[in-house]
Amino acid sequence: MKSSSTLPPYVCSYTGTLLAGVDEVGRGPLAGDVVAAAVILDPQNPVAGLADSKKLSEKKREALFDEIREKALSFAIARATVEEIDQINILHASMLAMKRAVEQLSLQPEFVLVDGNRKPGWHYACDTVVKGDDRVAAIAAASILAKVTRDREMVLLDQQYPGYGLAGHKGYPTKAHIEALAQLGVTPIHRKSFAPVQRQLALV
């Protein structure tokens, strides 16, 4: 994978086949679940063009989403709900979503690479990789699966909760989203532990 990161490509000590990458999407939004994906790529059937999902166009992400699912040895998509985010905080919810994704792989990995600098609590041999979605193909693939899944869900939630602009900003705290909260109020999909939502609830 070509990397646009200023950091060097990550070199893993594990040299076997069952290497999983895991990443999450959706820590920052005010609404919706945090979604994670885990992917074991097939070294004999590589996916070209993998990169940090945020740096790819929507069209490219959608195409890669299908190709990853077709070519990967195993993949899984999991989540932590809005309720869990509010109960245990977004950091722990993100770790929980990643743990669930890896546990749901049909092939259990021998080694896991985790995007970021924190390891979920699990029994897997693993390492963390800062900016891993720019440096490790399996993590990039996981970031794409997670982002496309979450973005699609936010488009559907926009139909269920019109007026908030969820299809556009995907739940992130844009000016339009904050204004919609003030005008329309808090919905069941909003994270009540996040400050902008808390402030709105305090006014009710």
Which parts of the chain sit beneath pLDDT 50?
1-4
The verdict on whether residue 24 carries a ligand-binding annotation is yes
pLDDT at 49: 94
The verdict on whether residue 58 carries a ligand-binding annotation is no
pLDDT at 75: 98
Residue 8 domain-assigned? no
Per the structure, how many domains does the chain have?
A: 1
Using CA atoms, how far apart are residues 184 and 178, in angstroms rounded to an integer?
10
User: CA–CA distance from 65 to each of 16, 43, 81, 171 (Å)?
Assistant: 24, 17, 22, 21
* DSSP-assigned letters across all residues of 44-81: TS--TT---GGGS-HHHHHHHHHHHHHH-SEEEEEEE-
Residue 11 domain-assigned? no
Using CA atoms, how far apart are residues 192 and 148, in angstroms rounded to an integer?
24
Nearest to 66 by CA among 174, 144, 152: 144
Using CA atoms, how far apart are residues 120 and 24, in angstroms rounded to an integer?
12
pLDDT at 2: 46
pLDDT at 6: 61
Residue 184 domain-assigned? yes
Residue 131 domain-assigned? yes
Using CA atoms, how far apart are residues 119 and 38, in angstroms rounded to an integer?
14
Residue 122 domain-assigned? yes
Residue 6 domain-assigned? no
Output the domain CATH number for residue 124: 3.30.420.10
Identify the DSSP state of 116. S
pLDDT at 183: 96
Range of the domain at 132: 19-203
Residue 67 domain-assigned? yes
pLDDT at 173: 97
Residue 5 domain-assigned? no
Backbone phi, psi, residue 138, to 5°: -65, -35
Angle separating helix axes 175-184 and 195-203, nearest 10 degrees: 30
pLDDT at 3: 46
pTM of the model: 0.94
Given 3-state DSSP classes, what are the helix, strand and coil percentages for the chain, each rounded to the nearest 5?
45, 15, 40
The verdict on whether residue 115 carries a ligand-binding annotation is yes
